[in-house]
Amino acid sequence: MLVLGNLAAWAAALALLCLLAKVRWGPGSVQGSLPPSWGAQGSEPGGTGEEEGDNVIGEEGLGAGRCRFICKPSALARCLLRSLRRFTALPGGRWLWRNWPHLQTTFQLLCPPACQPEVARELLQLDDGGLVALDWVVGPRRTSKRRATSAIRNAPVLLAIPHASGKVTRGVLHLCLLALEEGYNPVIFNRRGHNGSPLTSLKLQAFGDPADLKEAVTYIRTRHPGSSLCAVSEGSGSGLLLSYLGECGSSSYLTAAACISPVLRCQEWLEAGGPWLYEWSLLLHQKQGLSRYATALAEVVETERLFQSKSLRELEEVLFCQTRSRPTTWDAYWDRNDPLRDVDEAAVPVLCICSADDPVRGPPASTLPMELFHSSPYFFLLLTPQGGHCGFLKEDWCSWSHEVTLEYFRAIAEFFRGEERVKGLHRCRRGVLQKREGSSSPCNLQEIFSWQRSYTS
């Protein structure tokens, strides 16, 4: 499933990155990229007497080694903050690798998983005849130490969306295995032509076009009609997930969503380019996948320019802007594919886990739309000083972001169940009052405990 290329080249590149990271390593080297005014739930800036390594989410000020929870105040936000504060997976201690973002990024994106999962693939035929692949992770399964939900009927489904290049990384596979242990049915969504999915139509999925994902979600709901559905994306794959949430609004069928190291300003990100190792790896991975269909693609794009492209932006432009049938401009393409174009229509909770030292996304001040998290009751930002891009490694070389993501989904489910219980109790009391009044006019009480109202209470 993973294309690693020349292992010797990766080893040499990794050694070089280790040396560079050692030179630039130093305590507090990342903290300067965090504006001091960012606080939990919009709190005012202020100093903290906490030392580096405190395993908490700070309330005020920067705080060395502390995570920040940034959102609009609401009942759900308070619930999530309490849940995450109790969670032991948040980064703590003085582990050396925390200060090496390039090493964390390289390890998660390029190294194979410690345990290769067992996958059952389904090919889903779309309305236009194209195919997408759904990889259901079915094993190996171990008994969860926290809770045994695998035997419960209608287990929740976890939909994982890889990077936009289609690369299924160590992180995605580890998250799916962890979710399997927790009783989920994990499934990986592969776009047309990605990861061995056959390209049966001369159409590829644009960066922010959620049409194929809509059909996949509809199929998953048909297969698991009584299950709740959560979605998580990694890196640039967040563009597809956010586009889907914006276009579908309250009809997305998702209970909650999470984005690990999301790229939110995608056009600017492609135009600026990323670190050469990251960009070259994803570019090579995408070219290798497209080379299988070079003859067929020659009818719609200039394949010579396609395979000679030297950046992800150039590849994207050749594939979707300089087509033979419907050429368009770069800016017009992003008017239709910007993941934040309909973000105001999103109607499910979305947690974004980001690192301030992310070498791929760039500095938080210019790459994270902070106004979105401060104004929307549906978007939450967990910002940590260290972690790299999709890294967030612990001493056991596993990502704490995966455990936090599953804890977030659990807290969301419990919050909704509590709201429904309160609503049911209120309806029961109202029914008793109406019976006592006989045929009189119905009771004028308000349903003040609806989950929609709870977001902004």
Q: DSSP for 125-161?
A: E-TTS-EEEEEEEEE-----SS---TTSSS--EEEEE
The whole-number pLDDT of residue 60 equals 40
Per-residue pLDDT at 405: 96
| Catalytic-role residue among 224, 358, 374, 426 | 358
> Catalytic residue among 389, 396, 402, 426, which?
389
Tokens for 189? 């969504």
10-residue averages of pLDDT along the chain (457 residues): 43 47 38 35 36 40 63 93 78 65 85 85 93 93 47 80 91 94 95 90 90 96 94 95 95 95 93 86 89 91 92 94 91 95 94 94 92 95 91 84 94 90 61 44 36 38
Return the SS3 of 441: coil
Cα within 13 Å of Cα(81), Cβ side = 21
Q: Is 188 helix (H, G, I), strand (E, B) or coil?
A: strand
422 in helix, strand or coil?
helix
Tell me what pLDDT residue 424 has. 64
Pairing of strands 229-234, 118-125: unpaired
Give the per-residue pLDDT at 55: 36
Residue 189 CA to residue 234 CA, distance in Å, equals: 12
Tokens 């936090």 correspond to: 404
- Going by C-alpha positions, the residue among 189, 232, 207, 210 that lies closest to residue 313 is 207
Closest residue by Cα to residue 208 from 160, 240, 174: 240
Is the distance from CB of 220 to CB of 255 less than 8 angstroms?
no
- 389 as an active site residue: the answer is yes
Give the CATH H-level superfamily of domain 92-265+338-416. Alpha/Beta hydrolase fold, catalytic domain (3.40.50.1820)
pLDDT on residue 89: 60
Place of tokens 């035997």: 151
Q: Which string of DSSP letters, residue by residue, matches 174-205?
A: HHHHHHHHTT-EEEEEE-TTSTT----SS---
Report the pLDDT value the prediction gives residue 430, as an integer from 0 to 100.
53
Q: Are 354 and 382 in contact (CB under 8 A)?
A: yes
Active-site residue 174, yes or no? Answer: no
Question: What pLDDT, on the 0 to 100 scale, is given for residue 110?
Answer: 78
The pTM of the whole model exceeds 0.75 = yes
